[in-house]
Amino acid sequence: MAVDEQGLWVLWGNTADNRRLYASKIDGDVIVHTYALATEQMNSMGNAFVACGVIYCIDTYNGNPTTINFAYDTKTGNQWNPNIQFTNQYRYNSMVDYNPREKVLYAWDQKHLVTYSLTWN
């Protein structure tokens, strides 16, 4: 599950569909919209998070450095490779979430809470 300025999201995979990533926008107890993303297979991906209506995927959970190598804008339908360097400081990043109130990423990396400051263009 993820929360951003747009609301509540569920990020999930589907083994029947080549293990692709899906994102569902939730409003109350209703799924408002589901996006099927043309990402690499989920077992080749490290983590994913949602910020400002954009779904971002991180290449690997244990590479240092790695990259945010996929982005999908839920408003426009555009997808691209932002090629943003990302550091898995302790080399076992099991969770990444965006905090819309504080505008930071929180990660759980090898039993350590790590905070990433963000700069938006």
- Per-residue pLDDT band for 15 (boundaries 50, 70, 90) equals confident
Quote the CA–CA distance of 100 and 52 in Å, as a whole number.
8
Contact call for residues 109 and 115 (beta carbons, < 8 A): no
pTM: 0.92
pLDDT tens-digit map of 42-91 = 777 899 999 999 999 999 999 999 999 999 999 999 999 999 999 999 99
